[in-house]
Amino acid sequence: MMNKNDYISVTRWLNPEQKFVHVGVLFRDDSLNKANPIVGFKYDSDYLAKYPSLLPESFEDNFNEGTIIGDTDYNSLIPSYFKQFLPSEKNKSVFRVIDSEYLEKDQFQQVQHITKFKSALGAIQLDYDNGNDNKFNVSTDMSEAISLLEQVCKGDYASVDEKGLNALYHPNSDTHAVSSFIEINKKFFHCTIKPASDETSVNKQLMYRHIMNACGVECSITMKLEKNSEFYFGQTTGEQVVDFENNNHLMYNTVPVSALVSDSRKTSHYEPVTYKLINETLNDAIDVKDNAQLLKRALFAHLFKQKNMTVQHIKIKDLGEGRWRLSPQEILEPVYDANIPFKLPFSATVSAYDDLVFDVSFINMMVTNFELTKNEVHEVLGQMEKVLDNIVIHASQFDLSMADIENEIAAINKSELKDYLKKSKPEESVIEDKDNGPLL
């Protein structure tokens, strides 16, 4: 029998029922006196009986009586899904200050320690001491969030208290950010706040969001923030919306593709992860058919030099009843240094350093990697080209001059997208005009 300190209760918010339900327990068992304790997750029998549609499709094939065991050959690793609760390398610095022995703990103990401060991620709540549900809604005032962000960016971790730690962005965030709520149309959206180098960089974020939306890419709502002539920007996470007026909560469980890739066993830690592998993983593991959407995101990331894009930034969102789709895309700062590679290469056949150049072989590669027809690929390219061709007009809406976006213009022109589309013709039918993407 496991004692209280050896398990973490896992609950999940169900929007139709407007309540949390108990899913099961993440457990650690070293009673067998092995070199490494057994770490795993065991589903609650009531959850298995009441919510079969919410279970992974591979449940019957890979699970034994509702139990998932972590990889015990490698220092008590927790099941891949729960790795998203672990901090990134940067955020480990915060926990190291709060607890000097943190890095000596195994993964289960690290997650257990984190739940004392940061108990929720998406619609999943980890609560090792069975605390109340209100932990989920702890928020930070916007000015408090900016002050906390300044504090963390300076490395002043020693004064981060429990409330401050709870406001830190997802534990596995690649950059230090702080979470808060912003009000849009009488609803409160969970968002992250990050510093900006100057006002121009924030205006570019707003322009990127506008262009991505026009290209049909669902992206995070982005807003400009200012404090004492210093600029910041916030981005919605797509995970939690609180409508206090109607006493309604919309919470979506999001999972970074990194967790699915780790589960897929298709790649080792040392192999590069490409959009091709992401597409295969999404289709195999959870049957997300957003092939064209993923292609647009890959093209945009490379045309606009979002080199810091990783498999942690690409997430899928649980819509309920076992339905999933890609979450809104985070907008990252561009990196134009030619000596810095893309962290997420477009394809194993395209260099992580090279600009995209559209030709027949590249089109054929996109057809294969994203499981689309040639006409579907041309349709995506046509929609993007129509928007990018008017980048100067888009930029002017956000007080950006030609000089401000010269790097963006050069990258688009260097890709020769327009020239390729002029020379080529779709095989099946002409490209039809699409609307301007989803309304935000």
Quickly state the pLDDT bin for 6 (edges 50, 70, 90). confident
Token pair, residue 86, equals 């672990």
Give the residue-averaged pLDDT of 93-109.
85
Phi-psi region at 65: left, alpha or beta (left = phi > 0; alpha = psi -120 to 50) = left
Q: Give pLDDT tens digits for 181-204.
A: 888 888 888 899 999 989 999 999
* pLDDT number for residue 158: 83
In this prediction, residue 318 carries a pLDDT of 83
- pLDDT tens digits, residue range 420-435? 998 886 554 443 433 3
- Report whether pLDDT(119) > 80: no
Cβ atoms of residues 374 and 265 within 8 Å: no
- The answer to whether 82 touches 62, Cβ cutoff 8 Å, is no
pLDDT surpasses 70 at 436: no
Can you tell me the distance from the alpha carbon of 232 to that of 420, in angstroms, rounded to the nearest whole number?
Answer: 38
Query: Distance between CA 250 and CA 234 in Å, rounded?
Result: 20
| Greatest Cα pair distance in the chain | 70
Average pLDDT on 70-80 reads: 66
pLDDT at site 3: 45
Query: pTM of the entire structure?
Result: 0.84
Closest alpha carbon to 239 in 163, 311, 315: 315
- Name the percent of the chain lying above pLDDT 70: 87
In terms of Cα–Cα distance, which of 387, 379, 357 is closest to 208? 387
Q: Which carries the bigger pLDDT value, residue 62 or residue 289?
A: 289
pLDDT(286) > 60: yes
Q: What is the pLDDT of residue 363?
A: 94
Q: Cβ distance 239 to 170 under 8 Å?
A: no
pLDDT at 296 (0 to 100): 96
382-408 pLDDT, tens digit each: 999 999 999 999 999 999 999 999 999
**Best mean pLDDT range from 80-89, 115-124, 292-301, 325-334:** 292-301
Token pair for residue 175? Answer: 């950059």
Beta bridge partners of 181: 190
Residue 56 has pLDDT above 50, yes or no: yes
Average pLDDT over residues 161-176: 77
- 105-126 average pLDDT score: 84
Task: Give 13's Cβ-side CA count (13 Å radius).
Answer: 26
Distance CA 169, CA 190 (A): 10
